Amino acid sequence: MGDGHTGLDQAVKINPGLIILDNRMPGMPGELPARKLKSMPKTKNIPIIMATAMKLTAEQKEMIKMDVQEFIQQPFSQRGLQSKIEKYLGSLIEISI
């Protein structure tokens, strides 16, 4: 989507079944849109997967986990991402990254 502000606006507009956020994206850190999405009635039930290349401490993960359902460490495999997506959306025939 480009940056955190655009992604947040689009999520509110289209109400997707799942959101994958990068922990470090232009405009705002990933935990900020996650927190905002979880505070809005329209988007609070959308599952969020946080992708991160950072090594997060257990404390950081616990704080962010209040707003996201899953973490995936970058770089990640297509199969690793697919299994996390399928947990929330069901079996997918094929995804392409």
Residue boundaries of the structural domains of the chain: 4-89
pLDDT surpasses 70 at 60? yes
* pLDDT over 60 (residue 92): no
Name the token pair of 4: 């955190």
pLDDT band at 1 (very low <50, low <70, confident <90, very high): low
| Residue 16: pLDDT over 90 | yes
pLDDT at 15: 92
pLDDT over 80 at 28, yes or no:
no
Both structure tokens of 48: 């969020």
4-89 maps to CATH 3.40.50.1110: no
Average pLDDT, the chain: 83
List the end-to-end C-alpha distance of the chain, in Å, as a whole number: 14
Answer whether residue 93 shows pLDDT above 60.
no
The H or E element spanning position 38 is: helix 31-39
Whether the model pTM is above 0.85: no
* Token couple for 19: 């959101």
Report which residue type is found at 82.
Q
